[in-house]
Structure 1
Amino acid sequence: MAQLTVMEKLEILSDAAKYDASCASSNTTKRNALNGGIGSTTGSGICHSYAPDGRCISLLKILLTNYCSYDCVFCINRSSSNVRRARFSVEEVVDLTLNFYKRNYIEGLFLSSGIIRSPDYTMTELVRVAETLRTVHGFRGYIHLKLIPSANADLVAQAGLYADRVSINVELPSEVSLKRFAPEKRPREISAAMGGLRLRIEEGKAERAKSRRALAFSPAGQSTQMIVGADGASDAAILQRSAQLYGSFGLKRVYYSAFSPIPDASAQLPLSQPPLMREHRLYQADWLTRFYGFDVGEILDDGEGGMLDLAIDPKLAWALRHRARFPVDVNRADRETLLRVPGLGTKSVGKILETRRFRRLRLEDIGKLARSIATLRHFIVAEGWRPGAVLDSERLRQHLAPKPRQLALL
């Protein structure tokens, strides 16, 4: 077999990495305190990932190798999969990262890997990439490392010293599903590793608070990913699992990845992928629990079998089920009440609270502060404005639900 070139490896291993969604970069710290070095987490380039503040960060997203000794049923890189295999050396990943950065293609690296030889060996190779970039080349760009939960704790600790963010994928929302589809992965090991990361991250923050000279440990925190639609888990089960992960491990993000059918798939897996809108609605619901004061139980309607409404966003669905709470007076309501109004985001609520200190707000004022006045106007009272004929929930839903697109005939 002819030896693969670096660019051929890049084609294989970047494609193999596309199924991992947990690579958005955010809340990192600048690594520009020292003179010299190259790279920055705040520069500009060809952007692919979006931070919560709207900043775009481009990442070279690859696997070290797609060889893997594990046989996870849902993974295209499983040991029994008939796919083209490749493996980077540590030096090749380092050179690619530096060359792509210097050409302004990227601002950082997301690096994961299949398990080769042993978890410790694989983790050692991942750490070597980050360590070489940081200590040998002075790279101060963003690095996200995917950790292996069964690897030695000392290796995990080293990874956190060189990476801006680390992540361990829980893969599926229930332990039963994980045991069924990924028999080599141990739920207890995953939980223990994530718990250990939380402690180290908190200890690192405490040390940094005492001394700016203290080393930062994964300053952008940890994240995880769950696959949606590979098993029979409902949206309620997925969101409840996410709430438990946020509370127990202090995660920055839970990423949701719609299951995509893979070649030579097991009969245990569905034949088709779930609607991509389901993934989108899960992200919206996740946002409501994290930033809008909603509990998981409020978001989901028991009558829907634990599934989110795909036709409308979850906040609007909640508001329609609680029509008696509206309209809300934007000149008098508190922040918590305003956050539950469809069409108002956290920023627009902040602007409303600030502006109304000086004057009463009219509908046109709200239209300048919020994005969707067409939806919003049915749920608020403002100076000189009150909804006319109050529509019942079903008629309002029909009015506000996106209309199916029709193709024009040429």
Structure 2
Amino acid sequence: METIRKLAILADAAKYDASCASSGAGRRDSRASGGIGSTEGAGICHSYTPDGRCVSLLKILLTNFCIYDCAYCVNRVSSNVPRARFNVAEVVALTMDFYKRNYIEGLFLSSGIIRNADYTMEQMVEVARQLREEYRFSGYIHLKTIPEASPELLAAAGRYADRLSINIELPTEEGLSSFAPEKSLPSIRGAMGELRWRIEEAKEARTTSEAKPTTVAAPAPTAPTKRAGRARAPRFAPAGQSTQMIVGADGASDQQILGAADNLYGNYRMRRVYYSAFSPIPDASRLLPVQAPPLAREHRLYQADWLLRFYGYGVDEITDTTQNGMLDLDIDPKLAWAIRHPERFPVDLNVASKEMLLRVPGLGVRNVKRVLMARRHGRLRVADVARLRAPMSKLLPFVQLADHHPRRALDDPTALRARLAPPPRQASLFPDAAA
């Protein structure tokens, strides 16, 4: 029961970290259904691999004791919350037990800072080391690394973990110094840079080792000939690194948040930047806002992040300077850009470049590829585009086809925005009831 109590506390404390994405899957329990696997049980969450597989992870903290006093953190030293701590052997045993029961396929491990950064990081690395070397665990391991830890410990973490992450927390140095005085943005970025070059060095070494077989001494005349072997270079965090930013705790605008994310993608080769809407916490600091930001803001930031990474948009294009650098909450950022630039439309789907097709509301990367392939065989018509299952009401005002022209739809952007924006949701008479 002591282990269950610790698990309940430390799994709940880990839920605020969004850099391990949750799937939102329906609740299923193999203990009741007789099937295999479970989405229930304390601490089990879901993440997605680059190839789209859903991986069940045991998501916990090593401890929620912490010597830091970050205003936005429920586990800060001044917070009045129940405390618990696992030792290394307990985390290893839990992981292996859950894995053997087919509840999980991997581990997401974070921790509060105890004693100092090096001591805490050493404990987390030891968990991963024992799983890999003593138990031959081949499942997924994600370690939340501590930027103030020594480079040697960061290097050891990367040898055992599939992914590493360092939370930047807030997008500006001013915000971080106000809300997390023990943390330093240069220190965080320095650790990210350390991980980046180690990840790239390991990839380059493995590519070289796979391309060039090792030299094998010529066998004696009577010995059988053997094929040259290949010495594989060691892995280092093959799934890369990720980070998280808190949205709405400080006064940072969406433009500042996206600017910081763009810098992280460009300079540190970040795999993902996660955005976590600030949630009011017990015994909150007076520095924090009383209410959480609308969840729609977090959603719009993820959509804008997608435009940065896959659609060729710049930060200044996505955010509207007339709205103080904030995203429009009523419509998605791609549609908002198109309405602000009616002079760029309509786009002729039969002749437009790929870059311009990607800016058409309602057309995603996959459908743009299909349009480019289909128009090789003839001029596209409305019926052809409808087969793409794209949202036609959003798409048609911005495109020209062989049998369609939007005519004067773009002459009044305000009316077009009103027509395409989703209707406001009616307030429920029973706000606590499930929607």
Q: Which residue of 1 aligns with 2:253?
A: 234
CA contact (8 A) 2:37 2:103 kept: no
| 3-state secondary structure, aligned to 1:145 | strand
Q: Which residue of 2 aligns with 1:65?
A: 63
Q: Which residue of 2 aligns with 1:179?
A: 177
Deviation per CA, 1:281-324, whole angstroms, max 9, x where unpaired?
01111111111000000111111011000000000000000012
Q: CA deviation at 1:332?
A: 0.9
CA distance in structure 2 between the partners assigned to 1:104 and 1:361 by the alignment:
50
Q: Which residue of 2 aligns with 1:336?
A: 355
CA contact (8 A) 1:195 1:249 kept: yes
Q: Which amino acid aligns with 2:137?
A: F
CA contact (8 A) 1:298 1:318 kept: yes
Q: Which residue of 1 aligns with 2:225?
A: none
The within-5 A match list for 1:181-200 is 181-200=179-198
CA distance in structure 2 between the partners assigned to 1:196 and 1:246 by the alignment:
15
Q: Which residue of 2 aligns with 1:22?
A: 19
Deviation per CA, 1:198-248, whole angstroms, max 9, x where unpaired?
110110010010124111111111111111111000101111111111111
CA distance in structure 2 between the partners assigned to 1:266 and 1:191 by the alignment:
26
The within-5 A match list for 1:66-85 is 66-85=64-83
Q: CA deviation at 1:160?
A: 0.3
CA distance in structure 1 between the partners assigned to 2:428 and 2:261 by the alignment:
42
CA distance in structure 2 between the partners assigned to 1:408 and 1:18 by the alignment:
27
CA distance in structure 2 between the partners assigned to 1:407 and 1:117 by the alignment:
49
The within-5 A match list for 1:30-49 is 46=39, 48-49=46-47
Alignment of 1:125 onto 2:123: yes
The within-5 A match list for 1:265-304 is 265-304=284-323
Q: CA deviation at 1:45?
A: 6.6
CA distance in structure 1 between the partners assigned to 2:388 and 2:37 by the alignment:
28
Q: Which runs of 5 or more residues in structure 1 are unaligned?
A: 26-42
| 3-state secondary structure, aligned to 1:219 | coil
CA contact (8 A) 1:260 1:273 kept: yes
| 3-state secondary structure, aligned to 1:227 | strand
Q: Which amino acid aligns with 1:117?
A: R
Q: Which amino acid aligns with 1:281?
A: R
> Structure 2 vs 1, CA of residues 359 and 52 (structure 1 numbering), >3 Å: closer, same or farther?
farther
Alignment of 1:13 onto 2:10: yes
CA contact (8 A) 1:45 1:107 kept: no
CA distance in structure 2 between the partners assigned to 1:161 and 1:87 by the alignment:
25
Alignment of 1:384 onto 2:398: no
| 3-state secondary structure, aligned to 2:397 | coil
Tell me how large the CA RMSD over aligned residues is: 2.0
CA contact (8 A) 1:345 1:370 kept: no
CA contact (8 A) 1:9 1:88 kept: yes
CA distance in structure 1 between the partners assigned to 2:393 and 2:46 by the alignment:
31
- TM-score normalised by structure 1 residue count: 0.91
CA distance in structure 1 between the partners assigned to 2:394 and 2:99 by the alignment:
43
> Structure 2 vs 1, CA of residues 210 and 265 (structure 1 numbering), >3 Å: closer, same or farther?
same
CA distance in structure 1 between the partners assigned to 2:290 and 2:136 by the alignment:
47
Q: Which residue of 1 aligns with 2:229?
A: none
CA distance in structure 2 between the partners assigned to 1:407 and 1:268 by the alignment:
30
Aligned counterpart for 1:202 among listed residues 200, 203, 207: 200
Residue range with higher mean Cα deviation, 159-168 or 379-388 = 379-388
CA distance in structure 1 between the partners assigned to 2:54 and 2:380 by the alignment:
34
Aligned counterpart for 2:393 among listed residues 363, 370, 374: 374
Q: Which amino acid aligns with 2:247?
A: V
The within-5 A match list for 1:79-98 is 79-98=77-96
The within-5 A match list for 1:91-110 is 91-110=89-108
Deviation per CA, 1:131-176, whole angstroms, max 9, x where unpaired?
1111111211111100011111111101001111101111111111
> Structure 2 vs 1, CA of residues 224 and 5 (structure 1 numbering), >3 Å: closer, same or farther?
same
> Structure 2 vs 1, CA of residues 112 and 135 (structure 1 numbering), >3 Å: closer, same or farther?
same
CA contact (8 A) 2:71 2:284 kept: yes
Aligned counterpart for 2:414 among listed residues 367, 371, 394: 394
Deviation per CA, 1:351-410, whole angstroms, max 9, x where unpaired?
111222223222222222243122111111123222254242111111110012347999
CA distance in structure 1 between the partners assigned to 2:132 and 2:429 by the alignment:
57
CA distance in structure 1 between the partners assigned to 2:262 and 2:135 by the alignment:
39
Query: What percentage of aligned pairs have identical amino acids?
Result: 62
Highest CA radius of gyration, 1 or 2? 2
Q: Which runs of 5 or more residues in structure 2 are unaligned?
A: 23-35, 40-44, 211-231, 431-435
CA distance in structure 2 between the partners assigned to 1:380 and 1:272 by the alignment:
41
Residue range with higher mean Cα deviation, 385-394 or 240-249 = 385-394
CA distance in structure 1 between the partners assigned to 2:153 and 2:303 by the alignment:
35
Q: CA deviation at 1:44?
A: 8.1
CA distance in structure 1 between the partners assigned to 2:350 and 2:102 by the alignment:
48
CA distance in structure 2 between the partners assigned to 1:81 and 1:384 by the alignment:
64
| 3-state secondary structure, aligned to 1:377 | helix
